[in-house]
Amino acid sequence: MLKLLLFCATVLTAVQANGELSLLQIPSSLEFIAQNRVEQSSLKNLLAGLGYTTTEEDNQSHIRIVKPFDLPESLVVIVVNGVESLHIADSKTYPLHADEDEEATWHDINTGIMNRGSRNTLVRFNLGDGVIALGQSALGELKTTPINNTSLTALNPNREDDRKALEEVQLLHAIAQKVPSVIKADSNPDVYWFVVSQIKPVIDAYGKNSSAEAEALSLLKKAIMDIAQAFVKAYDNKTIVAVVTNDGREAPQTRSVTLQRQKRDTNDKVDLNLAKNYSENYPVIFNILLWFGVVFFFSLLAICIAIADMDPGRDSIIYRMTSNRMKKDN
């Protein structure tokens, strides 16, 4: 009986992948509201901050738009696999439940934007592919600067795991250097998705709370801050920068179940005469246009009536001029 209970506890723990959501930059036009932990599947609601409507089944939208006419122009997400927390200073941090794989979250975000048919920049970088695979990327040619080995105290560049982790860090710095010259902000919101996956092998090799882990995380946080500052400057503060971490446990594969449920719900709604879904800002804009039209109409009507009923009278300049001319003609 005890073995069975331990087995069940192990299974339940395996699917409860935990992590952290850190918001490094969010414009003043938005407000992020989260009372408890955030579900990773609800991160697609960050699209609402870019002006897109989202369909959240559990009605757990964490984004509130404060200024609907000053929305951000980009979303930047850095996913760090195998690390439960980064403890980034000066960031708004929320506990995260990784109820789905990050690739499934990216798929939903990518699909949500592509369905609108806009000319957006949608980029997903798996930094674990290395500089050779990412050399010619959507941001142009990436060239990394070799790290100074003398500055390393615990990591060994000759070890494969350490070398790959350092290469990911250098790729982030290379992207940050490329951003100012490549990115041109426009009215089409862009999404940049970066995946860091080589820190976990370093932690597995050296152990948690080791000096190698501390050095790797320190270098990673510097690179993340570097790339965040680059995007914030490129988009003139009109960007959302988020860091998503998870402890590396296997998240449940919920995408196929979710897609099947969406297809079933779509088929059920085909024969129904449903009203359109409007943005929460629709009533505000509608009332502004409605009452402006009403006031303009009655103002114009009053002016027309006043002009039609105008009687200059005998004391007006018009009467005196016409009266003198009539006497002269006579």
Per the model's pLDDT, the better-predicted residue between 267 and 29 turns out to be 29
pLDDT at 318 over 90: no
Place of tokens 């609108």: 116
pLDDT at 130 over 90: no
Helix and strand tally (H, E) in the chain?
A: 9, 11
Q: How much is the pLDDT for 15?
A: 47
CB-CB neighbours of 185 under 10 Å: 14
Per the model's pLDDT, the better-predicted residue between 112 and 92 turns out to be 92
Amino acid identity of residue 217, one-letter, is: L
pLDDT at 83 over 50: yes
- Confidence bin at 76 (pLDDT 50/70/90): very high
Q: How much is the pLDDT for 169?
A: 93
In the chain, DSSP assigns E strands to: 18-25, 30-32, 38-39, 63-65, 74-81, 92-97, 122-126, 136-137, 140-141, 190-196, 239-246
- Confidence bin at 5 (pLDDT 50/70/90): very low
Of 35-39, 95-99, 163-167, least confident by mean pLDDT is 35-39
- Domain residue spans of the chain: 16-246, 281-311
Of 72-86, 107-121, 176-190, least confident by mean pLDDT is 107-121
Mean pLDDT calculated for residue range 146-165: 88
Of 98-102, 185-189, 247-251, least confident by mean pLDDT is 247-251
Tokens of 164: 């790959």
Distance CA 103, CA 109 (A): 10
Mean pLDDT calculated for residue range 26-32: 88
Rounded to two decimals, the pTM is: 0.71
Q: List, in order, residues 6 or more apart from 70 with CB less than 8 Å away.
A: 27, 29, 238
Per the model's pLDDT, the better-predicted residue between 326 and 13 turns out to be 326
Of 12-16, 98-102, 111-115, 284-288, least confident by mean pLDDT is 12-16
CB-CB neighbours of 207 under 10 Å: 11
Per the model's pLDDT, the better-predicted residue between 15 and 155 turns out to be 155
**Mean of pLDDT over the chain:** 79
Instruction: Give the highest mean pLDDT range of 12-16, 206-210, 283-287, 294-298.
Output: 294-298
Residue 99, SS3?
Answer: coil
